[in-house]
Amino acid sequence: MIPNLITQNWENKTHLFDQVKTIAADFATRAAIHDRDGSFPFENFTILHNTGLLNLTVPSDYGGQGLGLASICQVIELLAGGDASTALVLTMHYLQHAIAAHHRQWPTEIHQRVCRESIAGIALLNAAVVEPELGTPSRGGLPDTIAERTEKGWRLTGHKIYTTGSPILSYFVVLAKTNEEQPRVGNFLIPRDLPGVKIVETWDHLGMRATGSHDLILKDVLIPSEYALNLGFLSDVTPIDPIIPIWSSLVLSALYLGIARSAQKWLISYLNERKPTNLGDSLATLPHFQAAMGEMESLLLTNQRLIYTLAVEVEQNECIDKARVEVQSVKYITTTNSIRAVEIGLELIGNPGLSRKNPLERHYRDVLCSRIHTPQNDAVCLSLGKKVLI
């Protein structure tokens, strides 16, 4: 039985992480079912709300916990070990609140309202930026989603894809351009229940199957003027605040570390329990298996050191500009390591690892999704290569 801890103050981080471990173990009992069916784990978010875990990056001034980067990485790593899809949806929710709190570009009243709703009930939010023609904005280009100024506010029309968490989101932070003579670009807050908002269930992927990352269709959706969050002319575009990619890259890296750790945990149990008749002892006693597991542990220890060392430095406001460069390498190295760690397990045990009755197969499909998140590996290597050569 998971206790209701919605009023808990998480100053005691050990207690927080112990509770998260308990919740992750509960999530793990349903993860395979949601993965197989591609169904959304609504019940997991009821638990996250009842335990106060939806509000860890909501500012303390607005009733949340306002936790720092290292603690959020730890929470997501632990939850990903139970259900990676749930952890990814929660990651996006955490990031949106953290970004809004850091930048303070939202109108104060709107920000307070969204925070109050998140505390009072299950009110998640996520960005909606990727489009069928544009792809990801991180590769350049303007969105096709149009925001038209009217006497009553803004009217938005467009098509977004890969909207993670769409079955449960209360708000979409939508990237769009205005139809003005000199277009402006920015984010618009779209409440889910407005006329013209439609979710088309298109998500049927190899991994992260329970994230509900469906298409978002906007058709003449009218929002108040103050729901335009950060409009600006292209000629006035300022560099991205380094805190945004730092938080995003490190929390996502922690998520995929959590998946690899869960794969490792299952492998340890399997190798200790599997006792072939011709061996007379468990596979865990063989030097070949011990060496391979040692390689896996080395990769994951490296991940842990890289992620949390940088996260703590960022929390302490040390070398933010330096961290902006380093975090790209950390994301590249740690996600590559996590994938390789799970591959080692598959190579070790062969067919049982690819059997759908065992979680290793699901962990492998999920961990491969780490390559999709911005910045992608090729962009990271290109950026770093230019930096050292030019």
pLDDT tens digits along 79-136: 999 999 999 999 999 999 999 998 777 899 999 999 999 999 999 999 999 999 886 7
Mean pLDDT, rounded, for 336-355: 96
Answer whether 221's CB lies under 8 Å from 197's CB: yes
Answer whether 145's CB lies under 8 Å from 160's CB: yes
91: which 2 tokens?
């990651």
Question: d(Cα 138, Cα 378) in Å, to the nearest integer?
Answer: 12
CA angle 336, 340, 345 (to 5 degrees): 155
Mean pLDDT, rounded, for 15-33: 97
CATH of domain 13-122: 1.10.540.10
**Number of H-type helices and E-type strands within the chain:** 11, 8
Answer whether 208's CB lies under 8 Å from 84's CB: yes
Mean pLDDT, rounded, for 242-266: 95
Pairing of β 146-150 and β 184-191: unpaired
Domain 127-236 has CATH 2.40.110.10: yes
User: Mapping DSSP to helix (H, G, I), strand (E, B) and coil, where does residue 376 land?
Assistant: coil
Beta partners for residue 352, in sequence order: none
Tell whether the model's pLDDT for residue 262 goes beyond 90: yes
User: Mapping DSSP to helix (H, G, I), strand (E, B) and coil, where does residue 286 land?
Assistant: coil
User: pLDDT-derived band of residue 142, with 50, 70 and 90 as boundaries?
Assistant: confident
Question: d(Cα 40, Cα 230) in Å, to the nearest integer?
Answer: 31
* Predicted model pTM: 0.94
CATH of domain 243-389: 1.20.140.10
Half-sphere exposure of 157 (CA within 13 A, CB side): 5
Domain ranges of the chain: 13-122, 127-236, 243-389
User: pLDDT-derived band of residue 279, with 50, 70 and 90 as boundaries?
Assistant: confident
110: which 2 tokens?
């709107």
The mean pLDDT of the chain is 92
Pick from 58-62, 192-196, 197-201: least confident: 58-62
Question: d(Cα 24, Cα 82) in Å, to the nearest integer?
Answer: 4
Pick from 154-158, 213-217, 348-352: least confident: 348-352
Tell whether the model's pLDDT for residue 322 goes beyond 80: no
Amino acid at 113: R
